[in-house]
Amino acid sequence: MPTDTLTTVTRYHLCWKHRDLDGVMALYHPAIQYHDFFQNRTLALAELRDYVQANMPRNADEALEHSDRIRVDGDTAFIQYTLTLRGGAQLVSFHASEAITVRDGLIWRINEYAALVREPTADAPRPATSRLGLSPRQLGIMADDLQQYFDQRQPYLDPELDLQEVARVCGYSRNQMSYLLNQVLGQTFYAYVNQARLKHLLQALETNPEARIDTLAFAAGFNSLSAFYKCFRQHTGLSPTAYMKQRKLVTSPACVGAGLPASF
């Protein structure tokens, strides 16, 4: 009956809202089929406790916010919400919708669809549904793994570094790493790598201000001056020559004595 469907799904919604794992599990039918089309997985009851626990908000900055009232058609209800989870240092948000079918007062089937919350540019396609086996929380952890790898091991110093090698060392597939960079972080692989190279170069310039900037560029992993110049201007708004002139100006004794900053 529609009334039973609404009652069951409303209780389910409130258990998620109040982060009641046991309450959620008690509402699943023994023969439940949970279809997660974001991860391209179908889960049975024995697999759902770990799955729900991994995807249920638990920290202060995590949330599950329903964006529409529950709509019922016979024994199936439809809900829409935004899920925000933290994995490592990253917050990742998804729009999701579920079709929830009730049998004998319990949830017998769920079809869940999700897409990244991301405003596409006019010429950019909308993110495709992930078929890569990563939950929102896992995507956040993956981004943290990538950042730690770059900070601690500095792989960008290798001018031949490629996406396959980064994915292998971090413990993910090439497609998973590409999805993280393009759809979650909003960057191409080479933009991400060159940004790390530029940061390394600017830090090296602080300790060795008389060094030739093109020498520092190659030492930081840039494999061509054209790629370096493009990246440098994109992130500083200046050419390397203009940047060096401005840096010398603000670090001169006269400027420092006048209270101007000692670094750019």
Q: Is residue 204 part of a domain?
A: yes
Domain boundary among 58, 87, 116: 116
Cα–Cα distance for residue pair 243/191, rounded to 1 Å: 21
Residue with the larger pLDDT of the pair 175 and 155: 155
pLDDT at position 130, please? 44
- 175's CB contacts (< 8 A; 6+ apart) are 132
Task: Give the structural domain span for 240.
Answer: 190-264
The answer to whether residues 111 and 7 belong to one domain is yes
Q: What is the mean pLDDT of residues 142-153?
A: 89
- How many beta carbons lie within 10 A of that of residue 165, not counting itself? 13
**Does position 248 have pLDDT exceeding 80, yes or no?**
no
pLDDT at position 134, please? 67
Q: What is the mean pLDDT of residues 154-181?
A: 92
pLDDT at position 132, please? 59
Q: What is the CA radius of gyration of the chain?
A: 25
pLDDT at position 57, please? 85
Q: Which letter does DSSP use for residue 156 in this model?
A: G
| Residue (of 172, 183, 118) closest to 145 by Cα position | 172
Identify whether the C-beta of residue 36 lies closer than 8 Å to the C-beta of residue 43.
yes
| Residue (of 206, 220, 213) closest to 264 by Cα position | 206
When divided into structural domains, the chain yields a total of 2
- Tokens 């940047």 belong to which residue? 243
Domain boundary among 81, 116, 151: 116
pLDDT at position 59, please? 80
pLDDT at position 247, please? 73
Q: Is residue 65 part of a domain?
A: yes
Q: Is residue 109 part of a domain?
A: yes
- Tokens 């201007």 belong to which residue? 233
Domain boundary among 116, 131, 155: 116
Residue 107 phi/psi, 5-degree rounding, is -80, 115
pLDDT at position 128, please? 41
Residue with the larger pLDDT of the pair 255 and 216: 216
Identify whether the C-beta of residue 167 lies closer than 8 Å to the C-beta of residue 155.
no
Question: Sign of the C-alpha dihedral, residues 216, 219, 221, 224?
Answer: positive
Residue with the larger pLDDT of the pair 149 and 123: 149
Per cent of the chain over pLDDT 70 is 83
Instruction: Report the CATH number at residue 235.
Output: 1.10.10
Residue with the larger pLDDT of the pair 223 and 90: 223
* Stretch among 13-17, 134-138, 200-204, 206-210 having the lowest mean pLDDT: 134-138
CA distances from 73 to 3, 70, 104, 112, 196 (A): 10, 10, 16, 17, 52
Cα–Cα distance for residue pair 229/213, rounded to 1 Å: 11
pLDDT at position 90, please? 66
In order, the DSSP letters of 190-221 are HHHHHHHHHHHHHHHHHH-TTS-HHHHHHHTT
Condensed to tens digits (0 to 9), the pLDDT of residues 85-129 reads 776 666 777 788 899 999 999 999 999 987 766 533 444 443 443
Residue with the larger pLDDT of the pair 173 and 254: 173
pLDDT at position 249, please? 65
Residue 251 phi/psi, 5-degree rounding, is -100, 5
Instruction: Report the CATH number at residue 38.
Output: 3.10.450.50
